[in-house]
Amino acid sequence: MQLVYMYIDSPVGALKLVAHDSALVAVMWDNEDHKRVRLAELIEKPQHPMLLKTKQQLAEYFAGQRQQFDLPLDFQGTVFQQQVWQALLSIPYGETRSYKDIARQIGNEKAVRAVGAANGKNPISIIAPCHRVIGSAGALVGFAGGLDKKQILLSLENNQS
């Protein structure tokens, strides 16, 4: 399966969108650790329909015109990681959950650390809203894009909701 990519500018810096013909595979940060999400060989194709649809929906999100994404997603990870990433998709716009909340939601309350690790490996940032997961005391912790970008995303949603 061939993966294609394009870069877009956003209020949180440059983002690298990665897809194949039928789904979005990743939204990566400009300061991305290449070991966080491993991808097969990529071909730059900025006119690919899936990438253009993603770009449009992200533009609407950043403009405060979209609260929910409507994109087919192809998460590549373990069964546990996929459970966590599916739980992320259920967090409403403008709300947050703790790692413990996510662990409870997937039926494994003691897996808080594992939830944190899976959250950190989320390949589809922003769209699978890992930025909405915070520490149990309400602190902003752990975010692949950087805590400053996590704060920008949460502020954007709080101002729009």
- Active-site entry in 130, 144, 154, 156: 130
- Give the chain's end-to-end CA distance (angstroms, integer): 38
Q: Does the annotation count 130 as an active-site position? A: yes
- Please list, in sequence order, all residues whose beta carbon lies within 8 angstroms of the beta carbon of residue 72, skipping any fewer than 6 positions away: 22, 23, 24, 50
Burial class, 138, CB count within 10 angstroms (exposed 0-12 / middle 13-18 / buried 19+): exposed
Amino acid symbol at 155: S
Q: List residues with catalytic annotation.
A: 130
